[in-house]
Structure 1
Amino acid sequence: MFFPIILVAPARAENVGAVARAMKTMGFTQLRIVNSQVHREPAAQWTAHGATDILDNAETFASLPEALADIDFSVATTARSRAKFRYYATPTEVLEQLSEKRQWMNRFALVFGCEESGLSNADLECVDLLTGIPMAVDYPSLNLGQAVMVFCYQLSALHLAPPPAIHPESPQQLAALRERISQLLTRIEVSGDQKLVDWIEQRLGFAQQRDTAMLHRLVHDIEKKLAK
């Protein structure tokens, strides 16, 4: 299964080393790093402790959109409570979502932000689903390595299932639906309603394959009606 962990602008080499160690422990091997080179520092190698191959093979990118260019479905982790981003999946719900989407998609990614500032609104808008770690106390965030370990442990079950046979066109269904809905909203002159646009964008991340197929049919019927 192709499933890289993406770190956006990590600031501390030790944390990236801890991430590599957590990944390898749970069976994840692909690391992508955006706008940072701290994984090349000696401190990252020391902390990785047996997972230095993950650091050595890490891919680097200048921006998050570039790191996600070949990904079918992406999940971003955030500890921030923003009014704009209300629809969060718990780690358990993320596993449920990815287990279903694995039946019609090939390439996934899990995105983590900088230790100091997290992911920006622009970064969060690049992904398909938002998640966070429920905590018993009001604490701003976990250590980056700890957060990666929580999700890698939760999602390690995905490695156990045999890969399904996927139709070549299936992985593009969700992206195509997003584009069609965006064009439809512009056509009916409601694309300026940012609250509506945000709601649609965020809820589409929860859509299963049958939901996506039905929404494609609905949009098609609306387009056909408008053409008359």
Structure 2
Amino acid sequence: MSWQSFCATCGEWPVAFTTVKFCFGCWPGGSAVPPPCLECGSTTDYFTNGLCGRCHRMGHVTIDTCPDCFAWGASKHRAWRCTACNGWREKRKLGVCSCCSREVPINIYGACRLCTKQRTRVLATKPPLPLPDLIAANRNRQQLWFADMGKAASARRPKSPPPPVAVGTLARFPVTHLQLPLFRFERDLSVARRVGHLDPRDANLALLLDQHVDEFGRAHG
């Protein structure tokens, strides 16, 4: 029996443990209270095998809010924290933030990452002098964001390939011979709008023509 086994009675919830066929709500003899999660101690959202939906590797909770900066999109694969906060934790010790009073990793100025980022954001707007300190920058509001959407995430994206470069010139074009048409068809440009254009048969010639048109446009306006 695997975690994918559902309760034999209701068929809606996973079994309480892989050794039984019932969930705690349909426990023989009456409904039973699920035990706290063995991983985080949560008394709600029990999943199966002693773990809640957040801690079980196949649980239904896949993303949540980062507990350090409240960014939405953190996953269980990084201990429910965003990449930036995990990096912040590696270099800073746990303490009480002098601004928000939360017990989180703080920098040498006694501030957590969220409060520090908020002050940086306020300073980026070039406020009038005197510049707001940490408390003033966080007094009215704090800007939240989505997890892992900063520079670190964008730096991992593969770079776009360089544009192709045409080889040679149009000196050998147009050719002296003429290809006679085997069939004659009326041009219907609406077909291209529906199905798109095919790739040019001679990609290098197409690049040379594009280059020639661009140069002609720059020269003649």
State the TM-score bracket (shorter-chain normalisation): under 0.3
Bigger CA radius of gyration: 2
Q: TM-score, normalised by structure 2?
A: 0.20
Q: TM-score, normalised by structure 1?
A: 0.20
Where relative contact order (Cα < 8 A, 6+ residues apart) is larger, the structure is: 1
The structure where helix makes up a greater share of residues is 1
